[in-house]
Amino acid sequence: MPKATTTNSSLGADFPNWRNIGRMALRALRRDWQSGELRVLAIALLIAVASVAAVGFFTDRIQQAMERKASELLGADEVISAPNPIQALLADEARRRGLRIAETLSFRSVVLSGDLTQLAEVKAVGPAYPLRGILQISDRPFDPPRAIDTIPAPGQVWLDERLLQILGLQVGDTVHLGSREFQIGAVLAYEPDRAGDLFSIAPRLMMNLADIPSTQLVQPGSRVEYRLLLAGEPAALVAFNTWAQPRLATGEKLQGVRDARAELRTALERAQRFLSLAALVSVILAGVGVAIAARRFAARHWDSVAILRCVGATETLIVRLFLLELLALALLAGTAGLLVGYLAQYGLSGVLGQLLGNGDLPAPSWQPILPALATGFVTLLGFGLPPLLRLREVPPLRVLRRDLGPVNPRLLALYGPAVAATLALLIWQAGGMAAGAVRLRRRDGHGGGAGAGGLGLGASAGSAARSGRGGLAIWAGQHRPARIG
């Protein structure tokens, strides 16, 4: 008897070594996989990671494409706008940092042609305009436009089709603007930085910035918008922003793609959150599968755990051993889920990418990888950890009495982890605690429905697992002795 006690004590002292536990967990993982006990659990984790990864990769590509498109709508990467002439030191510093610049000047004025007059939105542009996007003109109204990399020559103006129709003019005719007469050089078909027809209150006219002084239209007190367009490498733009922000004069505003196009930012954020919440439904459904598979996995190991307890294994060792085994499984299934999600996002891109008007989306970055893997681990811990913690309550006497097992869990231990995991994922995918709370109580009912549905699915995981023998687990709390009789 003393010899057996010494052996058991020595075994219990050696077991907590993490390297030994890791080797045991890998051997157990290989054995359980061959027996087929972990395949359902692995498939559920793969689905959870793949759904989040597919949405993450797809929204990442859409975000890059929309920001690229927004740069074209802005005509640059960034813009400094002001109602007064912009400080020359800003343009000088931008050039020094290797940024490309272009200047524009916009105002409203009356264009005259004989006895006809028409209020027009005049834009005077300087060399290198536009920095992003393509300027398009045509030779006659409603002809197919062609791209061009120049601006109106001095003494010429480009009128859009609407202004030409109102004044009854053709290319080659002349118009008066201010105190100067100009020849119509082309039909203005498209400007990259034009906000769109919805926001235009007057037809458009484009001219050379060098002709502005001769028109005598811009005087002190004139309502004019000065814009300095900037384009270049992201690092150079960030450095310039840091330098320029404290030096901006009154009225000068430095705007980026998202700042200048709030409607694009809002549309992108809403689309991303919608797709993320849609993916969350599949994650929670996969969590139900994790909970059921983990319960069956734990129940089938009650006998082996009882034998380990008889040879001196502690409760802590039992939990560590099976936790490491499932974490290793989660890592393998998560890696496979990332691959499946990466391939699946090409299908999403082929269908939904056409909404941008161009199916050629940029390649995805690697940023969605960590959130997808984290989702898999949160799903495993929230839905699958309770059965593992229940294994520590298997009594050693089970080797003699098969009717002995862990005690029945409490209601909070049964539903708490699944609901907590669901809430954590909902808040994370919604974009923060406040956004998640808003979606849970949104007055129009959509957000509340999604939140209530998520919580209902979380509770159903516990209910589904409870329907089998033994129920789910006791959640990381206090250890209670197993029943002996």
pLDDT digits (tens, 9 = 90+) for 310-342: 877 777 787 788 888 888 888 888 899 899 988
Look up residue 389 and give its two tokens.
């913690």
pLDDT at 480: 38
Q: Are residues 196 and 288 in the same domain?
A: no
Reduce the DSSP state of residue 100 to 3 states and report it.
strand
Q: Which domain does 462 fall in, by range?
A: 2-69+264-466
Instruction: Kindly write down the DSSP assignment for every residue of 383-438, as one continuous string.
Output: HHHHHHHHGGG--GGGGT-TT--PPPPPHHHHHHHHHHHHHHHHHHHHTSHHHHHH
Tens digits of residue pLDDT in 87-137? 999 999 999 999 999 999 999 999 999 889 999 999 999 999 999 888 999
Q: Are residues 229 and 131 in the same domain?
A: yes
Regarding pTM above 0.85, the answer is: no
- Would residue 483 count as lying in a domain? no
How far apart, in whole angstroms, are the C-alpha atoms of residue 478 and residue 358?
Answer: 58
pLDDT at 434: 44
Q: Are residues 334 and 251 in the same domain?
A: no
pLDDT at 81: 92
> By C-alpha distance, which of 184, 180, 253, 190 is closest to 214?
180
pLDDT at 356: 52
Please tell me the total count of domains within the chain: 2
Q: Within the chain, which residues score under 50 in pLDDT?
A: 1-15, 196-199, 358, 432-485
Q: Are residues 248 and 378 in the same domain?
A: no
- Would residue 424 count as lying in a domain? yes
How far apart, in whole angstroms, are the C-alpha atoms of residue 119 and residue 201?
Answer: 9
Q: Are residues 318 and 379 in the same domain?
A: yes
Residue 403, CA distances (Å) to 398, 468, 474, 483 in order = 7, 16, 19, 10
Of 255, 276, 293, which one is at a domain's C-terminal end? 255
- Would residue 144 count as lying in a domain? yes
Peptide bond preceding 364: is omega within 30 degrees of 0, i.e. cis?
Answer: no
